[in-house]
Amino acid sequence: MKRIGVFANVTREGMGQHVKRLASLVADRGVDVVLHEDLAEICPDAGHPFVDGSELANRAELVVAMGGDGTLLRTAALVRETGTPVLGINLGRLGFLAGATPETFDTSLDRLVSGDYVIEDRLALEAFVHGEVAFSLNEIVIERGTLARIIQLTTRIDGELVSSFWGNGLIVSTPTGSTSYSLSGGGPVLHPLLAAVVITPLCPHSLSQRPIVVPANQTIEIEVFAEHQDIIMTADGQTVAKLDPADRVTIRTAPRPVKLVNLQGLSFYELLRTKLNWSLADPATEDANGA
């Protein structure tokens, strides 16, 4: 490992100190550091070069994303053209995608420098509308505005009509994003190694509408009908387009996966148990204790 890049949530309190500490520890191990240009406002005296997003993705062998899952998602979009691996350091709440914490900086960096980690390829999405492309590691969402009336959404997969319903919107989620907004909307949890996509209706005005899992190599087209223009499309929680009635959004798998660094070596099922509290005490332990 010769050079590590750093991207961070500059709005988080104390982030400047975290960035400077990380950069110092990296440099102590003989590894060069480049910082995203936004960090200049919170740690101008870091002693390392500040570069724009494109240069960060091209120069770094690995990019550290410091913040919560939202920061990691923004970093994934930043490196989407280069495929540079991303390590999340969690300073947020859940940190489902993060591979380290500030408390484990020293041991985490030792493992990074020695190459003692696993890289996981995560499927991503691209959404096309109005001649623009939106990138997403978690999900693409089409939904009505806060005060707007419900909208009608018609979904086609590889040109074949699948459904048409009235409701609040629709989520198209990757396996990585299946534990995010889609899960809150009643969608299933997908293992991140699956080549599949979840389509989850939001508050459909039909009891028969349910989430559907489709192969990742199929093209999804969503057409919107409404009597108003308060319709938005978001990618990983960021508004990327205002939609007009009768607009059509095309969603496909991105040509390059996102490479996430797994330092802890936790399996997906361990993450579900620890992050989502899916497990009570081990029954075998309870039996041994006479419970």
- Residue 172 domain boundaries: 125-253
Q: Does the annotation mark 52 as catalytic?
A: no
In a domain, 288, yes or no: no
Does 113 share its domain with 155? no
284 assigned to some structural domain: no
**Burial tier of 84 (Cβ tally within 10 Å: 0-12, 13-18, 19+):** buried
What does the pLDDT average to over 26-47? 94
Statement: residue 288 has pLDDT above 70: no
Q: Which helix (H) or strand (E) holds 273?
A: helix 268-275
Q: What is the pLDDT of residue 284?
A: 59
Q: Is 164 domain-assigned?
A: yes
pLDDT digits (tens, 9 = 90+) for 76-126: 999 999 999 999 988 866 667 777 777 777 888 888 888 888 899 999 999
The tally of domains found in the chain comes to 2
Q: Is residue 9 part of a domain?
A: yes
Residues 195-221 pLDDT 10s: 999 999 999 998 899 999 999 999 999
| Residues 94-105 pLDDT 10s | 667 777 777 777
211 lies in the same domain as 222: yes
Catalytic residue among 28, 45, 69, 236: 69
Residue 8 inside a domain? The answer is yes
Checking if the pLDDT of 282 tops 80, the result is: no
Same domain (yes/no): 66, 153: no
Which pLDDT tens digit goes with each residue over 41-61? 999 998 999 999 999 999 999
Query: 137 and 97 in one domain?
Result: no
Clarify whether residues 13 and 100 are in a common domain: yes
pLDDT value of position 93: 66
Whether the predicted pLDDT of 34 surpasses 90: yes
pLDDT of residue 147: 83
Mapping DSSP to helix (H, G, I), strand (E, B) and coil, where does residue 7 land? Answer: strand
How far from the centroid of its chain's Cα atoms is residue 258's Cα?
A: 9
Task: Note the helical H segments in 29-178.
Answer: 53-59, 69-78, 105-114
Contacts of 72 (CB under 8 A, 6+ apart): 65, 86, 88, 97, 98, 260
Residue 147 counted as domain residue: yes
Q: Is the entire prediction scored with pTM above 0.85?
A: yes
Q: pLDDT by residue (tens digit) across 126-177?
A: 999 999 999 999 999 999 998 889 999 999 999 999 999 999 999 999 999 9
Contacting residues for 99 by C-beta, under 8 A, at least 6 apart: 87, 88, 89, 108, 117, 260, 261, 262, 263, 264
Q: What is the CATH number of the domain that holds 135?
A: 2.60.200.30
- The amino acid sitting at 28 is D
**Above 70 in pLDDT, residue 291?**
no
Contacts of 279 (CB under 8 A, 6+ apart): 273
pLDDT of 216-242, one tens digit each? 999 999 999 998 999 999 999 999 999
Check whether residue 11 and residue 90 sit in a common domain: yes
Determine the pLDDT at residue 166.
96
Q: What is the CATH number of the domain that holds 101?
A: 3.40.50.10330
Looking at the fold, whether 67 and 132 belong to one and the same domain comes out as no
- Is the predicted pLDDT of residue 280 greater than 90, yes or no? no
